[in-house]
Amino acid sequence: MRLIIAEKPSLARAIADALPGSPRKQDGAIAVGDTTVTWCLGHLLEQAPPDAYDPALKQWRLDTLPILPSRWKLTPRARARGQLAVIRGLLKSAREVVHAGDPDREGQLLVQEVIEHLSWKGAVSRLLVSDLNRPAVQRALARLEDNARYQPLYRAAESRSRADWLYGINLTRAWTLTGRQAGHNGVLSVGRVQTPVLGLVVRRDAEIRDFTPHPFFVLWADLAVEHGTLRAWWAPGEQQPLDDQGRLLAREPAAALAERLPGAEGRLVKLDTQNKRQAAPLPYSLSALQVDAARRYGLSAQGVLDTCQALYERHQLITYPRSDCRYLPEEHFAAARASLEGACRADDTLRQWLAGADFTRRSRAWNDKQVGAHHALAPTGRPMDPSRLSATEANVFRLIARNVLAQFYPPLSTREVKAEFRILDEAFRARGQEILEAGWKPLFTTRDEAPPLPTLTEGEACRVSAAGVEDRETRPPEPFNDASLIKAMMNIARYVEDSAVRRTLREHDGLGTEATRAGIIETLVERGYLVRKSKALRATRLGSALIASLPEAASRPERTALWEQRLSAIAEEGADPAPFLGDLISDLRGLLASADAGRLREALATSRGEEPAAVGRAPAKRRGATSRRRSGASTGTGRGTRRAGRKRGSS
């Protein structure tokens, strides 16, 4: 019997459907001829807790840190034991095994750790499926590879998992125990990813709190020109009191000029006209969808992920949602019309959008070179029946379908005009935009970004009909919300100064992964480090105190970039993982040495922030107790206890 082990049930079903023969469902598997397809439920195994190495480590003590396993152990997840037993039984009858994890670092780890844990000694083939369409799966089945080729990828994923355990377990225990000395009776969880995310919010809140507004002034003039009227704005010269953004800091010069302007004549001295064409936004990755759905519908990142999981698993309306890719396989182009017509025919809004699509157009979205383990979110072709979906599910599905439909619309064509007038020897500027061809834009908004200017000719005369001064004030940065925090995690390179680190973070998709970003935010809320206030995410006093008590390096994203550089060398160049883990342990000793009860006590006493909701405080003690019972297993990665069926990635 050939045994194929898929990463998740949906992939197993797709593989079984692509095999010749009639599928026969079994307990935890599907048999098709001489092949049996079984599945994992996300990670079936997890890093063993410290007391699995030494029962004495069940008690949290500073003098036992750092905890450094000499021989690593994995343990079954509680809710995955049944499926693990199914795979163990099937392996006894197997003559060959096929690894069918997702074609990425974590997918390689997820299945291979099960195969090795269950002591399979035979050869293993590798099946790489990035597209669940039946023809694509059949092609993948026809080109199996030797799994040995992917050992470097496995070693990199294994090293990341061990490094996160070392980092999270040791620092969480150190800061929790130091916190007790400082008077805080609860777990203080530290993780490689969750803590820098918390740091982002804490620093943003401090910027807002410490912001000192200052007034500035703008002068406008309404101008009559040959073909109409427009409003232009004074561009004060360097001789005026300006801030670093060119804003006028004194009202008197503007007020004096405003008194002289009515009736004054001038001339258009500079006219810049540019025609621009803008392609439609690409189909969604999960994070891009979370950003848009939060802005449009006020959904949390976790809410969008849960909705996508329902659309994918229960309704089978969309492709795999936990994708970091915004491109589609080139072979999907030929079937796009049929799948979109099927998906859109039962919904009035989607039918209207479908009617305007030109399926002879081919956008840049169809690009195999940009498709990795997964492709962008797209409709499967099943009809969307709004009566069978919740309002949220229908709204999210329309967004996904819209962005794919937009690939078959013309570009947005605009004419952008910048005009500079000279009046009383002063410069006044105006700008406008004229839509020449709306293209895809009506699918997204009917609002123009800038009204058009009347037809202008360089050198023509103008006359001021009215003028006025507006008193304005600088504003602090906006607090983070789900959309902006997900976007910050996606574009974390903006928050670091080192150019090499910025480059690495851009190359590796920022902080966290598509599968973990929403969970990281929710974990920080559940642990009482963040609180939702209206739609904003604000740091609590506890969250602010934790960041203040940690070395700065632990609360910034640079560590993820440095890790990714080393992990990439392991995955792509076959580098030895031992030096990476050795350097981490040296770094860890330094971080542990910086744990200081006095510093933490002061931080707890002086930090400012929001109070967590009452419902968020009570479970914290239960989670802390659970963490201690499991010897830090849930806090070691900084993400809490994960449900079986979810791929773990960043912590």
**Strand partners of residue 414:** 276, 435
Residues catalogued as catalytic:
320
Find, among 89, 90, 84, 109, the residue nearest to 99 by Cα. Answer: 109
**Distance between CA atoms of residues 359 and 602, nearest Å:** 64
**Distance between CA atoms of residues 499 and 637, nearest Å:** 28
The DSSP call for residue 419 is E
CB atoms within 10 A of CB 20: 9
**Distance between CA atoms of residues 646 and 330, nearest Å:** 29
For 152-198, the three-class secondary structure string (H helix, E strand, C coil) is HHHHHHHHHHHHHHHHHHHHHHHHHHHHHHCCCCCCCCCCCCHHHHH
C-beta of residue 247 within 8 angstroms of C-beta of residue 216: yes
Residues in the chain: 651
What is the DSSP track for 554-590? GGSTHHHHHHHHHHHHHHHH---HHHHHHHHHHHHHH
Rounded to 5 degrees, φ, ψ at 601 are -60, -45
**Distance between CA atoms of residues 498 and 168, nearest Å:** 25
**Distance between CA atoms of residues 635 and 165, nearest Å:** 9
**Distance between CA atoms of residues 254 and 363, nearest Å:** 49
**Distance between CA atoms of residues 438 and 414, nearest Å:** 8
**Distance between CA atoms of residues 634 and 273, nearest Å:** 59
Q: 144: which residues sit within 8 A by CB, 6+ positions away?
A: 98, 125, 126, 127
**Strand partners of residue 76:** 45
**From start to end of 300-389, where are the E strands?**
none
**Distance between CA atoms of residues 396 and 308, nearest Å:** 8
Q: Which two tokens stand for residue 413?
A: 């064509």
Q: State the sign of the Cα–Cα–Cα–Cα dihedral 489, 43, 641, 564.
A: negative
Q: Which helix (H) or strand (E) holds 251?
A: helix 251-260
Q: Which two tokens stand for residue 462?
A: 């103008």
Q: Which two tokens stand for residue 23?
A: 């599928």
Q: Which two tokens stand for residue 402?
A: 């819209």
Q: 632: which residues sit within 8 A by CB, 6+ positions away?
A: 49, 50, 60, 168, 169, 172, 173
Q: Which two tokens stand for residue 65?
A: 């840190």
Find, among 70, 75, 79, the residue nearest to 52 by Cα. Answer: 75
Q: State the sign of the Cα–Cα–Cα–Cα dihedral 536, 539, 541, 543.
A: positive
C-beta of residue 241 within 8 angstroms of C-beta of residue 250: yes
Q: Which two tokens stand for residue 66?
A: 């750092």
